[in-house]
Amino acid sequence: MLVMTAWYLRLAGCVSMLLAAITLLTRIFAPPTHEVSFMRSGSRQSGIAIMDTNRHVVATFIRDPLIGRQTDLTWSPDSSTIVFRAVTNITIDLYATDIRGQQIRQVTGTGKNNHSPSFSPDGHWLAFTSERDGNPEIYVTNTSCLNDESRCKDSDAHRLTSNTFTDDQAAWSPDSKHIVFQSNRDGDFEIYTMKADGSQQTRLTNNPQRDLMPDWSPDGQNIVFVSERDINNELYMMKADGTNTHRLTTTPEFEFSPQWSPDGQQILFQRTVQGSDFETYMMDADGSHAQRLTTVQMFLQNPAWRQ
């Protein structure tokens, strides 16, 4: 009996060690699990949903509409806070909430088409577009106000761009020191960069067709963007200094709203689809292996990476 017990214990120990090794190797070599959040809309379901992009499992976290009609969803770097644009009557402002939608705070109060929010990677600043001064310009506000019980003060927002044209779609460099954005100040929309204080505004693209919706890679080396230089909207990539521009997608459909995954391995984007306005896709950073994440029945809009 003692011999059998000792043999069994040794076998159980070996099995446990083997299982632990398999688990460790699985965690090391398995593709990272990313989450993409959406504004869910439809006659039966609404609120904010989160999809595991590896398993395509969707869970609804905020089950009721928050304020008015919501778009432009973005997450804080620690995934604890959501900032979104809400249209209520004739006012368009930004609001913040936690993942359960239990504490909603107003971020802007001008009602003058405040939209396109973007957290700096260090979590200290929120960039956004506002028409409070007559035309779309880029502003930043300190995110410390999101922790206060009252809404952020409009007077505390700093205006970074100032011209009679449209400056929009701000996205941060990974070190939070620069912002890439789109502007039509030179006749058509091009991609520009500037320091986080609005200085050294520099044009990166120079094309007679529109270049739009830039997003900075997590390693700081590349910028993905949308361009109409080949008739329809396609996704392109360039170095952060504007050199080495090359095309990522080649389809008869329109692609837009590219977003780098947190590890820089994939790009989330939207594409027009027959039978639907558009659906969400994901592809490798080199433009290969595009896969569709949403269907018409899902009613998922405004995708954004959560982690």
pLDDT tens-digit profile, the chain (307 residues): 544 455 555 655 554 455 444 433 333 344 445 889 887 755 455 678 888 887 677 777 665 556 667 788 899 999 889 998 888 777 889 989 887 767 788 899 888 999 999 999 999 999 999 999 999 999 999 999 888 766 789 999 999 999 999 999 999 999 999 999 999 999 999 999 999 999 999 999 999 999 999 999 999 999 999 999 987 899 999 999 999 999 999 999 999 999 999 999 999 999 988 767 789 999 999 999 999 998 876 777 789 998 6
Q: How many Å apart are CA 202 and CA 211, to the nearest integer?
A: 14
pLDDT at 232: 87
Q: Given this model, what pLDDT does residue 51 score?
A: 87
pTM: 0.85
Extended beta strands in 146-262, E state? 158-159, 167-172, 178-183, 190-195, 202-203, 211-216, 222-227, 234-239, 246-247, 255-260
DSSP one-letter code for 160: -
**What pLDDT sits at residue 33?**
56
The closest alpha carbon to 270, from 262, 280, 261, 283, belongs to: 280
pLDDT at 115: 94
Amino acid 146: pLDDT: 87
Candidates 77, 80, 157, 74; CA nearest to 116 is 74
Q: Give dist(CA 112, CA 114) in Å, integer.
A: 6
Cβ pair 86, 103 in contact under 8 A? no
Q: pLDDT at position 162, please?
A: 95
Q: Which helix (H) or strand (E) segment is 22 a member of?
A: helix 2-29
CA–CA dist 299, 297 (Å, integer): 6
